[in-house]
Amino acid sequence: MALLEVRDLQIHFRTATSVNRAVDGLSFDIHAGEALAVVGESGCGKSVTSMSILGLLPTPPGKIAGEINFRGKDLLKASESQMRKMRGSEIGMIFQEPMTSLNPVFTIGQQIGESVRLHEKASRAQARDRAIEMLRLVGIPSPDRRVDEYPHQLSGGMRQRAMIAIALACNPALLLADEPTTALDVTIQAQILDLMQDLRSKVGSAVMLITHDLGVVAEFAERVLVMYAGRKVEEAKVGDLFRTPRHPYTQGLLNAVPKLGSSLSAAGSVRLAEIPGRVPDLSKPLRGCAFADRCPLVQDVCRRIDPALETKAPGHLAACHFARREATAA
């Protein structure tokens, strides 16, 4: 059994005039100790999926259906008190933008120690000691001093490390990391990824990494799930997806990545590729393939029939009528 099983997840937001289908029939698994990357452009449903796992989406206006099974228990049927016990202890989360996610009126040590006191019934002194230990673990220098500092006194990289320390303070089995390297320079990004890999090997947590940076995916994850307009359009092992992307949207994402040295080629400067068109309006019913209006392979059937997720190669799923299927596929 997988550690986390998401089945036919539907997340809709009702407005005054319509219903926005932010996530539409999403299913995936995460196994113990595994790193799964979820990629896609802004608005495809990545972050609301992670928030639904923790039970943090406001309902209303949000409405959630489907199943989110963690260790065999459906989190969508859990009470708020049960979810409080689970947040931080069994499922941790690194939120976007640590400067706004950290509370500015509490010290870093107080914020790390809060979950330790809540879930492990530790004393103030024990929680402070754990906070210092976690700051040392995530590589923040002078943890005995930093533990009493406030978020504004730390650099962006340090705040991100502090967020990781908070998420891992109680050794959760699953870590949800929502854009953990956003707005950091490339050196700090590399340090954060190395830190997460190191902690994953030490603590044994499974990681769901939400990002739009394919370089981060290649560096960190083992499997990758590609989302578009609230739907899963491709899923594969990272190496397979980078070598042989099956869905035209995934191909477009990979082609849009700048190539080192491309401007120095014999053919001269190469124009950066882009995916034409716009993401469909999710407040309107989608007929057929959601990517049809932007797809270079589009045919009439694409606009009429929504393609099913099919196995195109061993362990490689894609939702496209014209994605190449290998002869060895089941």
Same domain, 135 and 214: no
- The answer to whether residue 95 sits within a structural domain is no
Q: For residue 108, is pLDDT > 90?
A: yes
Query: Of 171, 205, 230, which residue is a domain's last?
Result: 171
- Could you list the residue range(s) of the whole structural domain that residue 140 is in? 100-171
Give the helix ranges, DSSP H, for the chain.
Answer: 46-53, 80-86, 98-101, 108-120, 124-137, 143-146, 156-168, 186-203, 214-220, 238-243, 248-255, 300-304
| Residue 190 sits in the same domain as residue 322 | yes
Is there a single domain that holds both residue 104 and residue 178? no
CATH code assigned at 55: 3.40.50.300
Together in a domain, 107 and 243: no
Q: φ and ψ at 237, to 5 degrees?
A: -65, 150
State which of 147, 171, 195 marks the end of a domain: 171
Looking at the domain assignment, is residue 320 inside a domain? yes
Q: Is residue 15 included in any domain, yes or no?
A: yes
Q: Could you tell me if 62 and 17 lie in one domain?
A: yes
Residue 294 and residue 274 in contact, taking contact as beta carbons nearer than 8 Å:
no
More confident residue, 211 or 265: 211
In the chain, how many domains are there?
Answer: 2
Q: Of 120, 143, 171, which marks where a domain is finished? A: 171
What confidence category does residue 286 fall into, taking pLDDT thresholds of 50, 70 and 90? Answer: confident
| Mean of all residue pLDDT scores within the chain | 89
Residues 315/238, Cβ–Cβ less than 8 Å: no
Residues 22-57: pLDDT tens digits? 999 999 999 999 999 999 988 899 999 999 999 998
Same domain for 279 and 217? yes
* Amino acid (1-letter code) at residue 22: A
**pLDDT tens-place string over residues 220-229:** 999 999 999 9
* pLDDT tens track for 127-137: 999 999 999 98
Q: What is the pLDDT of residues 180-211, one digit of tens each?
A: 877 677 887 788 788 888 878 877 889 999 99
243 belongs to a structural domain: yes
In this structure, the answer to whether residues 199 and 324 fall within a common structural domain is yes
Given a cut of 60, whether residue 178 has pLDDT beyond it is yes
164 and 190 inside one domain = no
Give the pLDDT of residue 261: 64
pLDDT at residue 271, as a whole number? 73
Residues 232 and 167 in one domain: no
Cα gap 182→174, rounded to integer Å:
21
Give me the mean pLDDT over the 253-275 stretch.
72
73 and 190, same domain (yes or no): yes
Let me know whether 210 and 281 are in one domain: yes
